[in-house]
Amino acid sequence: MTSVLIDGIGELVTNSPAVGDGLGVLANAALVVESDQITWVGPSSSAPAADRRIDTGGRSVVPAFVDSHSHLAFAGDRADEFTARMAGARYDGGGIARTVSATRSASDDELRALLRARVAEMHAQGTGTVEIKSGYGLTVEHEARLLRLAGEVTDETTFLGAHVCPAGTDPAEYLDLVTGPMLEACAPHARWIDVFCEPASPHAFDGDQARAVLAAGRAAKLGLRVHGNQLGHGPGVAFGAASVDHCTYLSAADVDALAACDTVATLLPGVEFATRSPYPDARALIDAGVRVALATDCNPGTCFTSSMPFVIALAVREMGLTPAEALRAATAGGAAALRRGDVGHLGVGATARLTVLDAPSYQHLAYRPGVPIARLLDDRALDANRLTRASAG
Ligand code: NIG
Ligand code: FE
């Protein structure tokens, strides 16, 4: 078993409660990785010997970002909708049908190539774990296909047959399909089930429909996730899901309900950016003690960014999170939203998913928006003992 000492870390964010403040920051630190696990963390001066040594040259190291909400399994392009929104058009979910049509027309190999390229783009920006939803197939065959292909690039796959009701389909019949044959075909390829619960949208599902979808998913042993409160108020926070995502419109009672349960509120500020919508009241959530995650929601309609550093910068600038709160939400928060204890922190026993910052401090993630300072320390870099940008590509 080869051990690797990662040394010369100017600032190490562990997210470990055992170390320092909430972020568990260590200066002049090192860590040891064996078989993809962290086996030692501490000051560089007392680092143990290892088979190999990587010198990070004083850079910062943080837990790799956990992007707990994305829709990477799609083909086609909807840049024209973005342009129209910048000129005042409103988003209501209607464009999803265009992506469904383009995605159904794409071959497995085309979708495979798109998925791999998008995941590589995420790695190159510091993301180490990504959840990927279906939702652009909307037939038994196409939803199962998207999940099978997504499963080639991540373990965190989510069945989103209840994304929208396809045009011309009776909603009751479509729900029977989603909760019956479609779920049966998709459950073997999925860890989670999700539903777009949005009473204000003519395309999405109301509270009763969403409850039926989640109940069927739970019976099929899938974990629960919800798209809720994106376009208006709704019942999404009360479904007992692992995570309710968007949370753009929350009442005081919603915030109290979230604070009293273990549902994570996953905020997706790239969506507000790209749909010109008001940002969620993240401060109210954090101040009430709600567990908050940040994710990209990378999708062709409401937010086509794969960049967690961009999301962190938005959370700080537009939602009033401190840089520490934003980083925690993008790492430990995402891990909590996916109910994962092995990622999102760099304590002993954690999976070795590390992100290196070409910066002296994690604060630079928000301080240097748009600058490519973050990259996943991938196996290739670990093997090659190189930390230059070229090695991360
Ligand atoms: O999370 N809101 C529903 N689903 C996506 C958007 C999908 C699309 O417009 O293609 C979201 O914003
Ligand atoms: Fe989404």
Find the mean pLDDT for residues 241-253. Answer: 98
**3-class secondary-structure state, position 23:** coil
Nearest CA to ligand 1 atom 7: 301
Nearest CA to ligand 1 atom 12: 302
Structural contact between residues 136 and 99, judged by C-beta atoms closer than 8 angstroms: yes
Ligand nearest to the CA of 203: 1
Burial (CB count within 10 angstroms: exposed 0-12, middle 13-18, buried 19+), residue 97 = middle
Ligand nearest to the CA of 93: 1
Q: How far apart are CA 364 and CA 313, in angstroms?
A: 9
Residues 291-336 have pLDDT tens digits of: 999 999 999 999 999 999 999 999 999 999 999 999 999 999 999 9
Query: Which atom of ligand 1 lies closest to the CA of 96?
Result: 10
Q: Residue 99 above 70 pLDDT?
A: yes
Structural contact between residues 344 and 336, judged by C-beta atoms closer than 8 angstroms: yes
Pairing of strands 3-13, 25-34: antiparallel
> Is residue 146 within a helix (H) or strand (E), and if so which, with residue range?
helix 140-150
| CB distance 271 to ligand 1 below 6 Å | yes
Tokens of 74: 């799609």
Q: What percent of the chain has pLDDT over 70?
A: 95
Nearest CA to ligand 1 atom 11: 302
Q: Residue 289 above 60 pLDDT?
A: yes
Position 142 scores a pLDDT of 98
Q: How far apart are CA 309 and CA 65, in angstroms?
A: 9
Q: How far apart are CA 210 and CA 228, in angstroms?
A: 10
Residue 167 has a CB neighbour count (10 Å cut-off) of: 9
Ligand nearest to the CA of 131: 2
Residues 314-324 have pLDDT tens digits of: 999 999 999 99
For the chain, domains (ranges, CATH) are: 3-63+345-392 (2.30.40.10), 66-337 (3.20.20.140)
| CB distance 99 to ligand 1 below 6 Å | yes
| CB distance 300 to ligand 1 below 6 Å | yes
Q: How far apart are CA 335 and CA 68, in angstroms?
A: 7
Position 22 scores a pLDDT of 74
Q: How far apart are CA 131 and CA 13, in angstroms?
A: 23
Q: How far does the centroid of ligand 1 lie from the alpha carbon of residue 52, in Å?
A: 45
Residue 27 has a CB neighbour count (10 Å cut-off) of: 12
For the chain, the average pLDDT equals 95
Q: Residue 380 above 80 pLDDT?
A: no
Confidence of residue 107 (pLDDT cuts 50, 70, 90): very high
Q: What are phi and psi of 289, to 5 degrees?
A: 90, 15
Closest CA relative to residue 375, chosen from 284, 272, 306, 288:
306
